Amino acid sequence: MVVKLELRNVTKSYGKTKVINDLSISIEAGEFFVVLGPSGTGKSTLLKLIVGIEQPDSGKILIDGKDVTRLPPNKRNLAMVFQNYALYPNMTVYQNIAFPLKMHRIRNIPEKVRSIADKLNIGEILSKKVTQISGGQQQRVALARAIVRNPTLFLLDEPLSNLDARVRYSARGELKKLQQDLHQTFVFVTHDQKEAEALGDRVGVLHQGTFEQISSYNDLYNDPKTPWIGDFVGDYPMNFVGSKGFRPEWVELGQGEYKLEIDSSENVGGIYFIHGKTDDGESLILKADRRYKIGEQIRFSISKFKQFEASV
């Protein structure tokens, strides 16, 4: 496999806060890499470092094996889609898409813009002002502007989070398909686990300025390296009893060595999740097949668990 992007021991501080702390990663060509993390963990800063808007305090950034740490953004041949799309408001859709071509002095601009616009179904709105089109169309224009000139790497900063739910699902699917059609490398930042799960070949979980775990989403869920990952990944946090971590569905209800007093039950599409406390006062969430009464006590056993070094 060819390494497309490599970060070596990159550190970035704002004042006294270390936003990115000794972070290293290498991303392969053609990979869809998702950076997942709660807000305020430096996800956007990481993208800004890669794209060159911010300079790292120390460390190296290599693209296609070339050290670009000190290069300005316009010399790195990357494309980036910002969360708010950052469309040029004084230009039409056509002018927005043509802008990177003009800046790179590429020929046949009208043909290139036209073919990309058709591909993304925005051929009809090329002459409109970007302020007069819908959010979903704005997102496509931003994508078209990124794709049009064949950059070496795509960076996407939560590009789906400004869309309303229905458009978001279809846009997510289209994005994945687009990446596969283009055979290009995407680095995609999100706080949305469903997006990470649906899109990422690999998911890097950012915590305290560095990747706490990099693996497939399945492995993050089933085999978290640290209790923090177990807690963060998943619709419900991992349950902990002592140093054992287990998912809500990794239990058998009815009998066993543990006892749970029910606080509440919750129905998610026909599946029940029961919240409760053990005798030791630990809060757990378990999967169940029916509703339980508040205050009811049930016994359960853990069928599968992940052993962590220290208890949390």
Partner 1 sequence: MVSEYKNPRAKVAIYVGVVFFTFLVLLPLYVLFIIAFGSPSQTVAAYYPALFPTKFTLANFYNAFAGYGKILEAAFFKSLETAFIVAAIAILLGFHAAFGLSKLSFKLGSIIIALLFFSTMIPSITIAIPISATFLKLGLYDSSLGLAFAQELIVLPLTVFLIMGSLESVPKQLENQARVDGASFMQALYTVIFPLAVPGVVSAFLLSWLMSWDEFTFAVILSPVHPTLPVLIYLDSTARGNILTAASFSLLVTIPVIVLTIILSKFIKGNYLTAGITG
Smallest separation (angstroms) from partner 1 to the CB of 73: 4
Residues forming contacts to partner 1 in the complex (CB under 8 A) are 48, 51-53, 72-74, 78-80, 82-90, 99-100, 103-104, 130-131, 138, 145, 149, 162
Is the CB of 51 or the CB of 262 nearer to partner 1?
51
Is the CB of 106 or the CB of 241 nearer to partner 1?
106
Distance of CA 16 to the CA centre of its chain: 27
Distance CA 138, CA 225 (A): 39
Smallest separation (angstroms) from partner 1 to the CB of 83: 8
Smallest separation (angstroms) from partner 1 to the CB of 99: 6
Is the CB of 72 or the CB of 242 nearer to partner 1?
72
Is the CB of 89 or the CB of 254 nearer to partner 1?
89
Smallest separation (angstroms) from partner 1 to the CB of 150: 12
Is the CB of 10 or the CB of 51 nearer to partner 1?
51
Smallest separation (angstroms) from partner 1 to the CB of 54: 10
Interior/surface letters 285-294, b for 16+ CB within 10 angstroms, e for the rest = bbbbeeebee
Is residue 185 a contact partner of residue 27, using CB atoms and an 8 Å limit?
Answer: yes
Smallest separation (angstroms) from partner 1 to the CB of 53: 5
Is the CB of 130 or the CB of 143 nearer to partner 1?
130
